Amino acid sequence: MTERPAVTIDNLSRHFDSFKAVDGISLEVTSGETFGFLGANGAGKTTTIRMLCGLLAPTSGSGTVAGFDIYRQAEEIKKSIGYMSQKFSLYPDLTGKENLSFYGAAYGMNGSSIASRTEELAERLDLHDFIDRPTRSLPVGWRQRLALGVSLLHRPRILFLDEPTSGVDPVFRRKFWKILYELAEEGVTVFVTTHYMDEAEYCGRISIMHQGKIVEVGQPFELIQKHRAENLEELFINLINGREAANAEA
């Protein structure tokens, strides 16, 4: 039996009054895929992620996540996914371990499951040196690593990461992506938004988004060849410039 897609989107839109933050996008992400949502700030990436995670109602269109409808089954979606927001979302006065306990209880996990999973994640993500410290005192990279741990606590099969390495140093970004690769090898679907070109190259497929629309979708190397670009950065700039020139002529 063919496994169902992790994410499907059909003509999905979100408008804020007259502003079209997301404008009729369609997409399918297969289970176990590492998919990159590439675009400049304001392109509509975060709005799309929030709709897929059941945090924001679409204006129109349709979609499913883990087989659940984004309109009617938002609560089921929230229980089935891991989500790491663009802004640090953990409680700053709690320690890392206390944050993990709090979110574990929110996911419906019992105390022994939380404790064993916390130990497992502390080992995997190298959290031991700071898990007992208040999160407000941690450097950005460590806070992001802890936030990833929280998103993985309940063993989700789909992981949404919204600009997860924004503001962290290049060394940590490489470590972070090593962890994402390991998760993908275990069958976890990774859906990540980014504006870093080197990160986008790590993805099996990417979509390039501009002004609420998807401009192109495909494997990074194939897209570079298709558009005869030197690299992904040149491809991105050429596509965006081309789209803006076409809009100016319209």
Q: Is residue 1 part of a domain?
A: no
- Rounded mean pLDDT of the chain? 90
Number of Cβ within 10 Å of residue 127's Cβ equals 21
Match 């789209």 to its residue by tokens.
243
| Domain count of the fold of the chain | 1
pLDDT in tens, 183-195: 989 999 999 998 8
Q: Is residue 31 part of a domain?
A: yes
State mean pLDDT over 156-184: 85
Q: How confident is the model at residue 125 (pLDDT cuts 50, 70, 90)?
A: confident
Give burial (CB, 10 Å; 0-12/13-18/19+) of 145: buried
* pLDDT reported for residue 175: 81
Which position has the higher pLDDT, 135 or 1? 135
pLDDT at residue 171 is higher than 50: yes
Give strand pairing partners of 69. 64
Q: Is residue 2 part of a domain?
A: no
Q: How far apart are the first and last CA of the chain?
A: 47
Looking up residue 230, the CATH number of its domain turns out to be 3.40.50.300
Q: Is residue 19 part of a domain?
A: yes
State mean pLDDT over 199-213: 92
pLDDT in tens, 14-51: 999 999 999 999 999 999 999 999 988 889 999 999 99
**Cα gap 140→172, rounded to integer Å:** 10
Q: How many CA atoms lie within 13 A of 85 on its CB side?
A: 10
**Cα gap 167→154, rounded to integer Å:** 26
Strands 34-38 and 189-194, how do they pair?
parallel
Instruction: Assess contact for 191 and 155: CB atoms under 8 A.
Output: no
* pLDDT reported for residue 250: 61
pTM for the whole structure: 0.91
Q: Is residue 138 part of a domain?
A: yes
Query: Domain of 68?
Result: 7-249
Alpha carbon 107 to its chain's center: 19
State mean pLDDT over 171-190: 87
Least confident segment among 64-68, 104-108, 132-136, 240-244? 240-244
Q: Is residue 200 part of a domain?
A: yes
Number of Cβ within 10 Å of residue 129's Cβ equals 9
State mean pLDDT over 221-243: 92
State mean pLDDT over 222-236: 93
Q: How confident is the model at residue 126 (pLDDT cuts 50, 70, 90)?
A: confident
CA neighbor of 208 nearest in space, from 36, 53, 84: 36
